[in-house]
Structure 1
Amino acid sequence: MPIGIIAGLTTCALWGLTFVAPRAVEPFSAWDLTIARYCVFGIACLLLMLHPRFRPTGIALPRSAIGLLLGGVGYVGYFVSAAFAVRLAGAAIPPLIIGTMPVFLAVIANLRERSVSWRALALPLVLIAVGVAIVNIAAIRTVQSVDTGAILLGMLSACAALCIWIVYGMVNAAVMSAPDAPDGLRWTGLQGIGAALGSLVLLPLSSFGASDALPAFDTFRFIAWALLMGLAGSWFATWCWVVASRRLPLALSAQLIVAETVFGLAYGFVLEGRWPTAAEAIGAVLQFIGVISAITVFSKPESVGVPQASSVEI
């Protein structure tokens, strides 16, 4: 179990970089980072496939197509949405919105299976809603009127990222919970190739042609972040989550996902060189308590019928 906990926390720490990377690579755009990150991810997967252990052999063609689509649409769509959310809404709002993912997956599962009463879920959901509302309202009030539109667009982008992640998690969990589930490393490699192919569609939107006019320091910083996000934030993080999800019970692994929000907020405040405001701190604490409370509800003995939809590998 200690190995699983370490692996899960490592995954969340790496996933949390998503909330600062788009701002750290400026003046390069979110499109540039998306393309570079997932091309690095795909190339790494292809190189690893030189060894038979990493080749996606034995995976049926329909399931292989699902893996490629999960990589191309899930990875790329999620990261683009999260990147623009961070650019438009700042460091605090996107992690709090996207961090509600475990609860939404649990609610969807309850709609399908009705494993717990809605009365038991009322308090956690209210805490989460109030926490997110406090941070969002405070953010809108502290910006100038000309920036309000950007904040709202950032919130919408964060909601889009949340929806993509939920769909990805449900589809991916369905594949991985099947009796003939593919090997985790091979499944990761297949999605990595899909992510690389999906990112290439964004090439017309990139600004790589103008990068020659940028200082060398900006270019080297961008390359370093692309390598970090592609190798550590994508491949290694996904592999760590495979380790965690196989060594830990669902209740514990689901709670570890919440750590991504904490890491994302912490990275964002470090990047901005400030402490959280009172509203941000209160909102984050309320959301964290709400998420943990909801997961606890679904972890009780009478909740064993809930599908393992929160075992996400992204």
Structure 2
Amino acid sequence: MWIGTLYALAAGLMWGLVFVGPLLLPDYPATLQTVGRYLAFGLIALPLAWADRRALALLTRADWIEALKLAAIGNLLYYLFLASAIQRAGGPLPTMIIGTLPVVIAVCANLRNGARDGRLPWRRLALPLLFIAAGIACVNQAEFAALRADAAADVGRYALGALLAVGAVACWTWYPLRNADWLRAHPERSPRAWATAQGVATLPLALTGYGLLWGGMALGEAEFSMPFGPRPAFFIGLMFAIGLFASWLGTLCWNQASQRLPTALVGQLIVFETLSAFAYAFILRGQWPVLLILAGIALLVAGVIAALRVKPQSPPEVAGAGQRPAPDDPPAP
């Protein structure tokens, strides 16, 4: 139990790094950070693809097209929205919005896959959703008060950042639902090889995006120095660090935790990612969060944990026909 919890904590600490990049590179376009991160991850995935080459050879053309879609929306578009949101609204509010993902995914799965996986009772979800909404409101109020106190602050930019964070949530709500559809339709395939296939599919997309961005900046005579910006060594090192630790090692630690802990518990430990992202954001700010933000964080954590404790009811067509397999663990970005 303790080893599994430590693995989940390690995964959360590394996943929290994805919120740090935009704060450490405020002068770098979010598009460049996105293609840079996933170019690094795609290169890291190549040796993994060699290890899984036999399983990858079994994938059809349709499978690879699906992997490309998942990589484009769940990786590139998601992180483009997230990085853009953090650069515009700062760290706390986008982190808070992203922290609702486990519950948003559960609600969408309830609407979309209830007949297949069982439905969550809406009445029992009402209180957790109220906690989460109150938590977001607390953080938003505190950040907005800080904006009003700063004469140079741009409220419109902050609002756009919040909207972009909602876009990131939409991308990473679509991704696990679509990914689960493929895994359920191909129970004989290796989940590890499927994850590797998505990593490999990310590489050509990131390369293409990098080339288009570089060409567009050259044609527009942008002052930004391509290909690696004004701090090339720091940029390259940070992209590979996020690609290695957040995209690969964090997932490995999460899988280790999932093997050791009950499903009901491991789903709740996703909050380590949100707490880590908050900690990194305020460390970079060099200040402690105000009480209203601490209250918002507490409400978010309470809401997510309460929601993940709600058990799905058996689908009508299989009720009484034996115990239903446990639903998939809620994923983390």
What band does the TM-score fall into relative to the shorter chain?
0.7 to 0.9
Cα distance, 1:177 vs structure 2 = 4.1
Q: Check 1:15–1:224 CA distance in 2 against 1; reply closer, same or farther (3 A cut).
A: same
Alpha-carbon distance in 1 for matches of 2:240, 2:10: 17
- RMSD over aligned CA atoms reads 2.9
Alpha-carbon distance in 2 for matches of 1:285, 1:54: 46
* Contact 1:14 1:233 survives alignment (8 Å): yes
Give the length in aligned residue pairs: 312
Could you list the runs of 5+ residues in structure 2 that have no partner in the other structure?
219-223, 316-322
1:122-161 deviation line (CA, Å, top 9, x unaligned)? 2111110011011112212321475110111010111000
Alpha-carbon distance in 2 for matches of 1:313, 1:61: 28
User: What is the one-letter code of the residue matched to 2:157?
Assistant: A
* Contact 2:270 2:332 survives alignment (8 Å): no
Alpha-carbon distance in 2 for matches of 1:96, 1:287: 8
- Structure 1 position 159 matched with structure 2 position 163: no
Alpha-carbon distance in 2 for matches of 1:3, 1:117: 33
Structure 1 match to 2:15: 15
1:6-47 deviation line (CA, Å, top 9, x unaligned)? 333322222111111112124322222211211111112123
User: What is the one-letter code of the residue matched to 1:19?
Assistant: F
User: What is the one-letter code of the residue matched to 1:210?
Assistant: S
Structure 2 match to 1:123: 127
Cα distance, 1:94 vs structure 2 = 0.7
Structure 1 match to 2:274: 261
* Contact 1:28 1:222 survives alignment (8 Å): no
Structure 2 match to 1:312: 331
- Structure 1 position 233 matched with structure 2 position 246: yes
Structure 2 match to 1:141: 145
Cα distance, 1:53 vs structure 2 = 5.8
Larger mean Cα displacement after TM superposition, 173-182 or 232-241: 173-182
Secondary structure of the residue aligned to 1:276 is coil
Q: TM-score, normalised by structure 1?
A: 0.88
After TM superposition, the structure 1 = structure 2 runs for residues 50-69 of structure 1, keeping only pairs within 5 Å, are: 50-52=50-52, 56-69=56-69
Alpha-carbon distance in 1 for matches of 2:170, 2:57: 31
Structure 1 match to 2:318: none
Identity of aligned residues (%): 34
- Structure 1 position 292 matched with structure 2 position 280: no
Alpha-carbon distance in 1 for matches of 2:135, 2:98: 13
* Contact 1:42 1:193 survives alignment (8 Å): yes
Could you list the runs of 5+ residues in structure 1 that have no partner in the other structure?
none
Structure 1 match to 2:283: 270
Structure 2 match to 1:189: 196
Alpha-carbon distance in 1 for matches of 2:261, 2:186: 19
Task: Return the structure number with greater helix share.
Answer: 1
Structure 2 match to 1:222: 235
- Structure 1 position 205 matched with structure 2 position 213: yes
Flag as ranges the 4+ runs of structure 1 deviating above 6 A.
Answer: 299-302, 304-307
Q: Check 1:106–1:91 CA distance in 2 against 1; reply closer, same or farther (3 A cut).
A: same
Alpha-carbon distance in 2 for matches of 1:127, 1:13: 24
Cα distance, 1:214 vs structure 2 = 6.2
Larger mean Cα displacement after TM superposition, 175-184 or 17-26: 175-184
Larger mean Cα displacement after TM superposition, 69-78 or 4-13: 4-13
Higher Cα radius of gyration: 2
Secondary structure of the residue aligned to 1:115 is coil
Alpha-carbon distance in 2 for matches of 1:181, 1:267: 40
Cα distance, 1:104 vs structure 2 = 1.2
Secondary structure of the residue aligned to 1:49 is helix
Q: Check 1:285–1:143 CA distance in 2 against 1; reply closer, same or farther (3 A cut).
A: same
Cα distance, 1:74 vs structure 2 = 1.1
Q: Check 1:285–1:160 CA distance in 2 against 1; reply closer, same or farther (3 A cut).
A: same
* Contact 1:42 1:192 survives alignment (8 Å): yes
Cα distance, 1:313 vs structure 2 = 6.4
